[in-house]
Amino acid sequence: MPEPISDAFRAFDALVRPAADDPAEVVGFRDGIETALRGRPGIIGIEPAGSFSHGTAVRGSRLDLLVVLDGPRSRSATRAAESLAAAVPGDVVTAALGSVSTAAGRVVLDRVGGIGLHLIPAYAREDSQWVPDAAGRWVRHRPGAREMLLDRIDDDGSLRALIRLLLAWKHRQGVPVSSYYLETAAIRQSLQQRSFSLLWDLCWLWESLASGGLVNLPDLSSPDQTQGVRPAASLGRAIEVQFPVERAASSARGAVNAYLDGDLDTAHAYLVALFGGDFPELAPAEPVGWDAPPDPL
């Protein structure tokens, strides 16, 4: 990777990762919720999930917890989430200055000025679990499979870095696209071609999504490896996402072309448009000096 690009993305990656004390800050809130839920009838297990488990979380990511429910699967993920929300103790939420809501078949627990939680209802079956997708529809899920897939193909950390960049763009631009969908798209690209440069990786990925029309992507970590991953909660939301994806593809291509032309200021301006004004400057690479050999005389 060219040094000015590499250095800037490395610095930005450190900037967007959750602060070192973020997980500790939310532990009491999470543990209070877990302790209360484990004592409720009908709940048989609670498991971590999502970007924090995958090693791809950014500031703004919520902690995800799968709450495994007993009994036959509810026909509606929305109703399952509403029942789960009713089981959350109000005193724990109030003590954390939080709020409870439901969306797309999951419970959203937000806290003022802190990391929130997603409680995701799940039902166990012999070899997998049923969990709601971005549209609140039941899909099959293998616990730990996504982490294993990432570990197997991300031998140098470039894939997780790419996913963090996509999630940083999503949160900073307010794009209503599924984080799991972006992660799936990055995995697909990683399997098709090895990482060359994070800037080029981003450009190719966004261009692929823009030209493909944000179609459902196969989930290689699902039990049958063909289950589709939806980009958003509805067709209307997917259409809404199309424009920011096309704009991101155009900005990334502009940054690539400007960098190839040696115009670091313009390349940086495009990256600021993608990620915000705190994206690091693209400092010119230091020239490599040449020492003449000693005079033999």
Structural domains in the chain? 3-275 (3.30.460.10)
Specify the pLDDT at position 144: 86
d(CA 74, CA 122): 10
Q: 198 with 9: CB under 8 angstroms? A: yes
Kindly indicate the confidence band of residue 261, based on its pLDDT and cuts at 50, 70 and 90.
Answer: very high
Q: What is the pTM of this model?
A: 0.88
The pairing of strands 114-124 and 63-69 is parallel
Specify the pLDDT at position 87: 84
Residue 201 corresponds to which tokens in the numbers above? 């990786």
d(CA 168, CA 180): 13
Mean pLDDT score of the chain: 86
**Ramachandran angles phi, psi of 72, nearest 5°:** -70, 150
Specify the pLDDT at position 292: 46
